[in-house]
Amino acid sequence: MAPKKLLTMQKTWHRYVETHELDVQLLRPEVASSWQRCRHLNVNPFQEADGHVNQLELRERIYHKQHLLKVARPFMDNLYNFVKGSGFQVVLTDELGYLLEVLGDNEIVNRTRQVLLCPGGNWSESQQGTNAIGTAIVEKKPVQIYAWEHYCKSNHFLTCSAAPIFNPEGEAIGILDISGDYRVANAHTLGMVVAAVNAIENQLRLQKATDKLYMAYRYSNTLLENMSDGLISINNNGIITEMNAKAGEILGCNPTLAKGRHVEQIYNARNTLLQVLSEGTEYEDREIIIEKLGRKIYSSATLLRDDTGGTIGAVAVFREMNNRQPVRRPTILQSHCYTFDNIIGASPAITAVKEWAKLAAASLSTVLIRGESGTGKELFAQAIHHASPRGDRQFIALNCAALPESLIESELFGYEEGTFTGARKGGQAGKFEVADGGTLFLDEIGDMSANVQAKLLRVIQEKKVSRIGSANERPVDIRVIAATHKDLAEEVRGGRFRQDLYYRLNVLEINIPPLRERREDLPVITAHLIEKMAAKLGRDVPAVGNSFMEKVVSHGWPGNIRELENAIERAVIRAGIGGVLTAELLEMQAAQAVKPVIAAPVVKEIRSLREVECDMIVDALAFYQGNIQKAAAKLGIGRNTLYRKMREFGISF
């Protein structure tokens, strides 16, 4: 810049900071507007640099911007290679103006550190006055600030060129800047910054598109692999392009090895799938025979077409025949039909769990939900069910901890008429039969006894259930969702839970975070519960004082949402009609220490020797994980005797 113009700018700055007289003819519009903002913000133009965060907060800000840093670093390196040795530094900040990373020559880096143009420094206009970073944040466009255009005197030695970085949704997420001594300023610097920002934004858009494609692939692949029917697709040459695991099971081949082979090498498709391809005659529920296996199946097939309507292949769906008889179902009224929309919160912790749960819902795999008491495990279970292909079928829930062992068996597996005194005439279907075609939710499964665990494992493995008192097995098609507050892996190590059942249940594991790990969700959850309680009590929604919400957010809530809901209900009742919710009304119930009492002698339930013997055998087999020799030795009987008693009691391991 010419010395005369530089001198004019210097005089203009002095006049404004001393007399508040602004000559807009001598300043660029963005600089004039910024100076006026700085004055209204009470920025002292003669102040020393301030606004630096501590290392802990800096690390936290870097953590929240790690994706931006990862994308921007290569472009920052390229930019620095252009200006290396010329007295400039490349700067990346977050959207609030906090510096995250600096690349530069030692001389300029050491000098700018004195004005906090270093990691952790805050270069918003409210802290540093007019500057390229802070002014670009406000203007939302590229800005270059030169020498005395800076509002604060301490920054007059600088020239800065900055441009905001926007994510694919159009939100500002950071600022890229090049700063250096104004005496080495270059008119093309801002253009270099803008070009680098454009490249960063293009990379962000590309990554988002890639992530969407990957998630779509994972979603479709999960759906494909967890279909209850087999699926196979071929191209116009009859070459297999896709086959899921169920199709491989039905056709007796390895799906991975089958891809790329001609369909005739897998099964006799000449008069079925290949005929659809050659003649265009689609079919539905046709009975076909897999000759090499001697198996009859049902099949449907259709053509695959591109956007122009041209044929690009064909796809067939296979379904195994079965002789399943319809189960007589009782009428079941469900009071709740929770979906993912009912799961309140937008914190990273709960959002990640919801996204994973939605993927799990799309499959038919077994789900294990873990979480502390009161975190909403059944809410997630219902949401998964209603978002699944079985969403229009039965959702049956059973709390395994709420029933004694003698009742949980009949609840799960049902019983035949005359099995025991008081048995219903005609017998009764268990939860497995009632839930046939739908979802069975087993809450608190970690409290299930070893005997019931063994029977549950067999039903899940064989997909057949036998009622108590009956030797007949009934096929069932259910999806199991289990939940527990316990660490089942630790329960397995302690011998309290079967290892083989644990692996059967833990196909898709969902861990629900406690409230203390998602405090940012507390305000919106609290507002929802206040509305819910007001409606329950027939009152208008009460006003909420700041002290009330502050106390909610600061509490640890060991009982999670259940504890929070109870506390809010008490507060709403105590506030009365037309009252205001304040911190004094929010009463947390501390856990009371239970005083030991001397109990009167309890007469144990008298059980038959046969029942005791059966339980001992089940416990021994469970402890030794099905090892007959070890179990027999522990019980003090021979292996043949143990086998005979297992057949007698109907025990299968």
Of the candidates 141, 34, 125, 133, the one whose C-alpha atom is nearest the C-alpha of residue 93 is: 133
Domain containing 449 equals 340-511
Q: Do residues 552 and 502 both lie within one domain?
A: no
CATH number of the domain to which 30 belongs: 3.30.450.40
At residue 220, the pLDDT reads 67
Q: Which of 511, 529, 546 is the last residue of a domain?
A: 511
Is 219 inside any structural domain?
A: no
User: Total structural domains in the chain?
Assistant: 5
pLDDT at 333: 33
CATH code, domain with 355: 3.40.50.300
CATH number of the domain residue 521 falls in: 1.10.8.60
Question: Hey, what long-range contacts does 490-493 have (CB within 8 A, 24 or more apart)?
Answer: 491/446
* In a domain? residue 110: yes
CATH code where residue 632 lies = 1.10.10
Q: What is the pLDDT of residues 215-253, one digit of tens each?
A: 766 666 676 777 778 899 999 999 999 999 888 888 888
CA 630/CA 617 separation, integer angstroms: 12
- End-of-domain residue from the set 476, 511, 546: 511
Tell me the DSSP string of 37-82: HHHHTT--TTPPP--PPPHHHHHHHHHHTHHHHHHHHHHHHHHHHH
**Proportion of the chain above pLDDT 70, given as a percent:** 89
Q: How far is CA 437 from CA 209, 292, 475, 558, 614, in A?
A: 37, 30, 11, 37, 32
For residue 473, give the amino acid letter.
E
| 373 lies in the same domain as 465 | yes
pLDDT at site 327: 35
The answer to whether position 61 is within a domain reads yes
In this structure, the answer to whether residues 531 and 505 fall within a common structural domain is no
Q: What is the pLDDT of residue 620?
A: 75
- Asked whether residue 580 is domain-assigned, the answer is yes
Q: Are residues 13 and 162 in the same domain?
A: yes
pLDDT band at 424, cuts 50/70/90?
A: low
pLDDT number for residue 196: 94
* pLDDT at position 603: 39
Same domain, 502 and 521: no
What are the C-alpha distances in Å from 503 to residues 366, 385, 498? 10, 21, 9
d(CA 226, CA 523): 38
| Band (328; pLDDT cuts 50, 70, 90) | very low
From CA 196, how far away is CA 201, in angstroms rounded?
9
Q: Is pLDDT above 80 for 206?
A: yes
Q: Give the whole-angstrom CA distance, residue 534 versus residue 556.
A: 24
Assign residue 293 the CATH number of its domain: 3.30.450.20
pLDDT exceeding 90 applies to what percent of the chain?
39
In this predicted structure, the answer to whether residue 367 has a pLDDT above a threshold of 70 is: yes
505 and 532 fall within a common domain? no
DSSP bridge partners of 481: 367, 441
* Span 390-398, average pLDDT: 87
- Residue 283 sits in the same domain as residue 348: no
Gyration radius from the chain CA atoms: 35
pLDDT at 151: 94
- pLDDT confidence bin for 120, thresholds 50/70/90: very high
Instruction: Please provide the average confidence, as pLDDT, over all residues in the chain.
Output: 84
Q: 479 with 621, same domain?
A: no
pTM score, whole prediction: 0.43
Whether 144 is covered by a domain: the verdict is yes
Secondary structure of 400-458 in HEC code, one letter for each residue: CCCCCHHHHHHHHHEECCCCCCCCCCCCEECHHHHCCCCEEEEECHHHCCHHHHHHHHH
> What is the pLDDT at residue 324?
39
3-state SS, residue 99: strand
Most confident stretch, 280-284, 551-555, 592-596 = 551-555
Judgement on whether residues 161 and 21 belong to the same structural domain of the protein? yes
Given this model, what pLDDT does residue 428 score? 79
Is the pLDDT at 330 greater than 80, yes or no? no
What is the spatial distance between Cα 409 and Cα 398, in angstroms, rounded to a whole number? 11
Whether residues 233 and 259 fall in one domain = yes
pLDDT of residue 307: 72
Provide the residue type at 566 as one letter: N
Higher pLDDT: 19 or 470? It is 19
Question: Are residue 543 and residue 480 in the same domain, yes or no?
Answer: no
Mean pLDDT of 514-525: 91
Of 128, 204, 129, 196, the residue nearest 161 (C-alpha): 196
pLDDT band at 262 (very low <50, low <70, confident <90, very high): very high
pLDDT at 515 over 70: yes
pLDDT winner (highest mean) among 161-165, 360-364, 408-412, 455-459: 161-165
Q: What confidence tens digit (pLDDT) does each residue in 375-392 have?
A: 999 999 999 999 998 888
Residue 491, pLDDT > 70, answer: yes
On whether residue 329 sits in a domain, the answer given is no
Distances from the Cα of 452 to the Cαs of 467, 485, 574, 605, in angstroms?
13, 19, 46, 19
Segment 196-209 mean pLDDT: 92
Clarify whether residues 203 and 231 are in a common domain.
no
What is the per-residue pLDDT for 154?
92
The secondary element (H helix, E strand) that includes residue 317 is strand 311-320
Higher pLDDT, 437 or 630: 437
Q: Residue 335 gets which letter from DSSP?
A: S
How far is it, in rounded angstroms, from Cα 36 to Cα 43?
10
What confidence tens digit (pLDDT) does each residue in 309-319 have?
Answer: 788 999 999 88
pLDDT(199) > 90? yes
* Residue 244 forms part of a structural domain: yes
Q: Mind listing the pLDDT tens digit for each residue in 569-622?
A: 888 888 887 788 898 888 876 543 333 333 333 334 455 667 677 877 877 777
Mean pLDDT of the region 339-364: 90
Instruction: Identify the DSSP state of 515.
Output: G
* Range among 133-137, 492-496, 639-643 with highest mean pLDDT value: 133-137
Whether residue 75 is contained in a domain is answered as yes
Question: Is it the case that residue 49 has pLDDT exceeding 80?
Answer: no
Last residue of a domain, one of 570, 585, 600: 585
